[in-house]
Amino acid sequence: MVGMPVTVTIVDHPIAAEALTNLRDQNSSNQVFRAEMRRLSLIVIAEATRSVPTRKVRVTTPLCETDGWQIAQRPVLVPILRAGLGMLPAAMELLPDADIAVVGVQRDEVTHEPSEYVAKLPARLDGRHCIVLDPMLATGGSLEHGCKILAARGAPQPLTIACVLAAPEGIAYLEKSGMNLHIVTASVDERLNEHAFIVPGLGDAGDRQFGPPN
């Protein structure tokens, strides 16, 4: 299959760089990690929504009427469980009227293949601007699975993916998916290790936010 366009935007901002440094630090507590995830997510998601459709409106200030802008329709926020939940508060703060859908995909620790365990989202997404939230783009398997669910329900492309870190291998994998995707991230790191973790990375984003599952 010939790959569709996959574009990557790397957020270049000193606050993003500082927040990412604190996320990478192995000594950051779960509380600090969650706070820095929210801080960085605000910047990444703001960039990811740069092309969200808008409409012109009239607004009355204390002095006169003037033109203003509103988001044209409610976007759909799609956190990939469970790590994507850490980006959701920032996304809801920026887009308080957004609908929220969830896709649960877990990676087999041996084969690294994705396995879906939940998908709660509208039956049709035609014309809805979807923003996928997943802190770590590692192998690309979980994100591809989630994006294909959205595409099958009519979500317009390019689909927007907001993540904290991306690995070159994951980007290359998505380029072969046949979908048109726009990835917004704070960093494209060096590589994946033999366990499919991003290097230098920041460890397991889900565990560092919420604690180990067992």
- Long-range (24+ apart) CB contacts under 8 A made by 15-24 are 15/39, 15/43, 16/40, 16/43, 16/44, 16/186, 17/186, 19/43, 19/186, 20/164, 20/165, 20/186, 20/187, 20/202, 23/164, 23/202, 24/200, 24/201, 24/202
CA 114 to CA 127: how far, in whole Å?
Answer: 27
The answer as to whether 78 is a domain residue is yes
Quickly state the pLDDT bin for 3 (edges 50, 70, 90): low
For the chain, the domain total comes to 1
Give the global pTM: 0.89
The answer as to whether 118 is a domain residue is yes
Q: Please give the share of the chain, as a percent, with pLDDT higher than 70.
A: 92
Residues with catalytic function: 107, 111, 204, 207
Domain with 28 in it: what CATH number?
Answer: 3.40.50.2020
The answer as to whether 122 is a domain residue is yes
Domain residues for 17? Answer: 6-51+74-200
The answer as to whether 63 is a domain residue is no
The answer as to whether 136 is a domain residue is yes
The answer as to whether 131 is a domain residue is yes
Quickly state the pLDDT bin for 1 (edges 50, 70, 90): very low
Q: What is the pLDDT of residue 209?
A: 85
> For residue range 7-17, what is the model confidence (pLDDT) as tens digits?
999 999 999 99
The answer as to whether 56 is a domain residue is no
The answer as to whether 68 is a domain residue is no
> For residue range 72-93, what is the model confidence (pLDDT) as tens digits?
888 999 999 888 899 999 999 9
Quickly state the pLDDT bin for 121 (edges 50, 70, 90): confident
